[in-house]
Amino acid sequence: MTKIIAFANQKGGVGKTTTAINIGASLAAIKKRVLLIDLDQQGNAGTGLGFVRSSHRQSVYGVLKGTATAADNILTTAVPNLHIMPSTQQLAAAEVELYTEDNRFYRLRDALVPVRDYYDYILLDCPPAMGNITANALAAADGVIIPMQCEFYSLEGVQQLINTIEGVRRELNPNIDILGVLLTMYDRRQSLTRAVEDEIRNTFGDKTFKTVIPRNVRVSEAPSHGKPALFYDFNSPGAQAYLRVATEVVERTEQGE
């Protein structure tokens, strides 16, 4: 059964897109069929996988607007088993335009029905804001992965997101749940990092991923080469960490099937 996972955090700069790309590539590497949908108008998920935004016509914009099908807007990436539905700058307009549309929160969920069964995982890279596009992602998702840095303001952002998810569960999607909180850009040498980690693990318990993503220059370099870290430097600590997280994702989503 296909699992739809949203990567969300209302705070920017926490490694959300990097995490979506690298977990997607890692799931694909362990033979899962994966579709990554870029819901951020900046389009970084696409460029991080080697696509030049002006070189393709495919975009999630038309899918959200109901003027195009999901199947016609999916691209094959250089990573076996990994496909992407990219974004373009048009997506900025969708945020406003959807306010006047019928059924505006369920556009993405409904559009994915014809292609959903082709994939084991559909990953949604959300923008760093709570609006119509993020609401569409959360209305479609079975679970949410929350990437966060180990810093004070990240704690505040996570609490805001939890409140948002609770609202979505009441109003839009009773089946959504937090799949896990993932600590990114982790530096064990810093006392604040360890203090925030302790607080997160005490608060979320088993919802916190066992694996943390270390600060790693190879992970930072990989997008400029249009590759996930796993295909840029397989043996780097960051790439191996994301591979372990992907294994945890499979364990959490496929138990009991």
- Block residue for tokens 């190879």: 218
Instruction: Give domain status of residue 31, yes or no.
Output: yes
252 burial (CB, 10 Å; 0-12 / 13-18 / 19+) is: middle
**Residues with Cβ within 8 Å of residue 95, at least 6 apart in sequence:** 41, 131, 132, 133
What is the residue range of 10's domain? 3-251
Residue 249 confidence (pLDDT) = 97
Domain count, the chain: 1
Whether 256 is covered by a domain: the verdict is no
Does 257 map to a domain? Answer: no
Q: In whole angstroms, give the CA distance from residue 27 to residue 248.
A: 10
pLDDT at residue number 256: 54
Q: Give the DSSP H or E segment for 38.
A: strand 34-38
Residue 92 CB contacts under 8 Å (≥ 6 apart), including other chains:
41
pLDDT at residue 257, as a whole number: 58
Kindly report, residue by residue over 85-141, the tens digit of the pLDDT.
999 888 888 888 988 888 899 999 999 999 999 999 999 999 988 889 999 999 999
52, part of any domain: yes
| Nearest residue to 128 (alpha-carbon basis) of 19, 1, 228 | 19
pLDDT at residue 212 tops 60: yes
Across 225-235, average pLDDT = 93
pLDDT per position as a tens digit, 126-169: 998 888 999 999 999 999 999 988 777 777 777 788 888 999 99
Examine the pLDDT at 226 and tell me if it is beyond 60. Answer: yes
CATH number of the domain within which 226 lies: 3.40.50.300
Q: Which residues pair with 183 in a beta bridge?
A: 148
- Indicate the pTM of the whole model: 0.95
Residue 56: band (very low, low, confident or very high) from pLDDT cuts 50, 70, 90: confident
φ/ψ bin of 2: left (φ > 0), alpha (ψ from -120 to 50), beta (otherwise): beta
